[in-house]
Amino acid sequence: MDQPKRSYYLRSTSYFPLTLSLLLLGTVYLTLFIDTRGNSRFTFAELGFVLCFLAYSLHKATLSRIEVSRDGKDIVAMPSLLDRRFWGERETSARVTSGAELLFCCRSAYGAFDGYHILLRAPGNSEQILWKESSVTSVSRRYWERIAREIARNNCVSTRLIQQRVTAEGIQETDWTAQSNRVPRKNLQFLIGLAFFPWMGIIARLLTRDVRLIALIGVLLWLVAFFVVRYTYKTRQLSKDEGGFGTGMLVWTLTFVSFYVVTVLVTDAVLSRHYSR
């Protein structure tokens, strides 16, 4: 008889900006519902509830999980609903032998990011990949550390957080600590710069009320961001996975569009209220 399993959700931050943007946009429409008079206010309410529901659904659909039996002998890694539906990923199961370790790993190869892995290492150093994520911004080390502690405490499975670096000399392995997890300054400036682009919707709305011109400004901003990201991936080797670039740009594009629309609508609502007084 199968042992009951305890689930641990592997929260991914890749889709968090998009989820937050949908939630903010839904909040804006609900606010417009409160401030507006007439039949159009109910349209705002419907859009607000739909967007909030989409944000919640996206959050649930992007959660992967790892299931560990109560006795710590069986582990199942379950990809998120999006990964199963769109990328064809399947669950992976493994049997935990005596002396095995469950490793939460951040991996790089020849100076480039090579994904986050959850590995089951058996005695003799044979490893099985249970779960992998290629996006460079998708995993929180602090959250994984908490998950690792809970699995060790609740299921009596040995766990560790490690960093692996593949070089010409071989594989170097060290503990993955808060100190070693610091983002390089250049990469941090790059991420901050990307986060700034959607806020340009405020300036676009201040410059004009023409929807077509606002949309054109948005397209130009996206093109600039695309070439900056492409150049950065090529020159700084943020990731060795070309598929990671495409997926990252798709997520960022959806986030940019939704957040750009939010900033334009909020700015328009503030200006309309100011000039109506």
**Sequence letter at residue 108:** S
Packing angle of the helix pair 200-207, 242-276 (nearest 10 deg) = 40
Query: What are the C-alpha distances in Å from 27 to residues 45, 61, 66, 200?
Result: 10, 21, 33, 20
User: Is 259 in a helix, a strand, or coil?
Assistant: helix
Q: Encode the chain (277 residues) as per-residue pLDDT tens digits.
A: 456 789 999 876 667 777 877 887 788 778 777 766 777 677 778 888 998 999 899 889 988 999 999 889 999 999 988 888 887 888 999 999 989 999 999 888 877 777 889 999 998 878 999 998 876 556 778 889 999 999 999 999 999 999 998 888 888 999 998 777 665 545 555 666 677 788 888 889 888 889 899 999 999 998 988 887 777 666 654 544 555 567 667 777 877 887 888 788 878 877 776 666 5
Burial of 104-128, coded b for 16+ CB within 10 Å and e otherwise, reads bbbbbbeeebbbbbbbbbbeeeeeb
Residue 23's φ and ψ, nearest 5 degrees, are -65, -40
Cβ contact 214:204 at 8 Å: yes
The model carries a pTM of 0.69
User: What was the pLDDT predicted at 93?
Assistant: 93
User: What was the pLDDT predicted at 174?
Assistant: 92
User: Is 106 in a helix, a strand, or coil?
Assistant: strand
User: Is 86 in a helix, a strand, or coil?
Assistant: helix
For 157-189, what is each residue's pLDDT tens digit?
999 999 998 888 888 999 998 777 665 545 555
Please list the alpha-helical segments (H only) found in the chain.
16-35, 40-61, 81-86, 141-155, 185-196, 200-207, 211-236, 242-276
User: What was the pLDDT predicted at 87?
Assistant: 77
For 3-33, what is each residue's pLDDT tens digit?
678 999 987 666 777 787 788 778 877 877 7
Q: Residue 178 contacts by C-beta under 8 Å, 6 or more apart in sequence?
A: 141, 142
